[in-house]
Amino acid sequence: MRLIILIMAVGVLGSCIELVSFDTSSEPSRLVVESTITNISYNDRLQLPVDPEYFSVKLSNTGKVSNEKDEPVLEAEVILQDDLDNTWHFEDLDNSGTYRLYDADFKVLEDRIYKLRITTKEGKIYESMEETMTVVGSVSSVQPEFMEKEVLKNVAGEEKPVVVQGVEGRIEIPENTGEEKFYRWKYEAAWEVQAGLLSTGHPNKRCWISNENYFKDYTMVRDITGGYIQPLFFLELSANSRVEHEFSVLVTQYSLGKGAYEFWENIKIQREQGGGSIFDPPPFEIPSNIYNVSNPEEKTSGYFIVADESLTRWFIKPSDFPFNVALDDLCAPVPGAPHIPPAVCNNCLDYQSGYTSITNSKPSWWY
């Protein structure tokens, strides 16, 4: 059987969704643990250009037959411990298998050691290996580099190289003293959409969209020297209606331990060597840092991550472009054809081009 896991970078849980595939053919059901805790608390996020969320631990069991969905693990006890015997309890108030730490001030400290302990309703006890945070400092601001780039596009049913205009987001990696550092960056897109047929001031004239899956990959670097510019994401501008008004990218930087870095690196390798489809068999088992206390040989999936996190939000609008970009007006009538505008032209909340969230209330972090 194939296990497809949604790995979510918690700390900003839900800000990044990753499809992870593990080969579980002819194997018993296994526990899947997904969690990241960081140095940014819920209250800290209230002062940052993000929507605040509590730290979480998502628990599930793999299905026992092919193509069966993973089942949430309910009624478990989930406890975070540190090396000073402090404990924090995660609660699953909505009975979803996602356990949240409702402590608005909790954050990871640099000099502490953390461990996750899970007790299922059947009495099985699982623990994570001990994890610490490695601090690297704040992510630098995004440096845009406008360019023409060759990308693969589907043309008449075939993948063909096409040159498009766009912008590459880059950041500066600070000089390193020689100590090996492990970085991971992920990106969340947001943009404004307007109902072209509504008058200015109408409550459904303007909406703000976010899409956690717009940028489909993440960037990883194992660094020793530092002192260079690191390319991150590429935003296509040609014929991209999402950049018509204003577009934003939230860049989140994680400093990882070696084990967590190798976990994400192995996921990348698995994707590249798996043939490009989630139905292709993965080339190897991805190690987890979760184990059954009574039976360490029992296989588990996922990873408990303790990370140094920092973020920056970048904005771009058409007046920033160094070249002219043609954008179609979806609400304008087409000469010689019946005028049937899309629903979004009369209500921005009817936007249907893919999103994680949509609101007609301007986010507090949108400038």
Instruction: Give the DSSP per-residue string, 211-246.
Output: ETTSS---EEEEESS--EEEEEEEEE-TT-GGGSS-
pLDDT at residue 366 in the model: 94
- HEC profile for 257-313? CHHHHHHHHHHHHHHHHCCCCCCCCCCCCCCCCEEECCCCCCCCEEEEEEEEEEEEE
pLDDT at residue 6 in the model: 35
Rounded to an integer, what distance in angstroms lies between the CA atom of residue 280 and that of residue 272? 11
pLDDT at residue 52 in the model: 95
* pTM summary value: 0.86
pLDDT in tens, 28-63: 889 999 999 999 999 999 999 999 999 999 999 987
- What residue numbers bound the domain in which 152 lies? 143-253+313-359
Q: Are residues 285 and 165 in the same domain?
A: no
* 364 occurs within a structural domain: no
5 pLDDT more than 60: no
Q: Are residues 77 and 130 in the same domain?
A: yes
105 pLDDT more than 50: yes
Q: Are residues 177 and 325 in the same domain?
A: yes
Closest CA to 37 of 89, 108, 98, 87: 108
Q: Are residues 206 and 350 in the same domain?
A: yes
Q: Are residues 212 and 263 in the same domain?
A: no
Cross-strand pairs, 310: 253
* 33 occurs within a structural domain: yes
pLDDT at residue 13 in the model: 36
* 62 occurs within a structural domain: yes
Q: Are residues 125 and 15 in the same domain?
A: yes
Q: Are residues 87 and 6 in the same domain?
A: yes
Mean pLDDT of 314-343: 89
Q: How would residue 268 be classed by pLDDT, with cut points 50, 70 and 90?
A: confident
Q: Are residues 224 and 322 in the same domain?
A: yes
Q: Are residues 261 and 242 in the same domain?
A: no
Count Cα neighbours of 56 within 13 Å in the Cβ-side half-sphere: 21
pLDDT in tens, 128-166: 999 999 999 899 999 999 999 998 888 888 889 999 999
Cα distances (Å, whole numbers) of residue 354 to 189, 211, 213, 238, 363: 11, 7, 9, 18, 19
Look at the chain and report how many structural domains it folds into: 2
pLDDT at residue 239 in the model: 86
pLDDT at residue 64 in the model: 59
Q: Are residues 31 and 89 in the same domain?
A: yes
Beta strands in 62-180 (DSSP E): 71-72, 77-82, 87-90, 98-100, 114-119, 125-128, 143-155, 158-173
Mean pLDDT of 320-332: 88
Q: What is the distance of C-alpha 134 from the center of its chain?
A: 20
* 367 occurs within a structural domain: no
Q: Are residues 278 and 321 in the same domain?
A: no
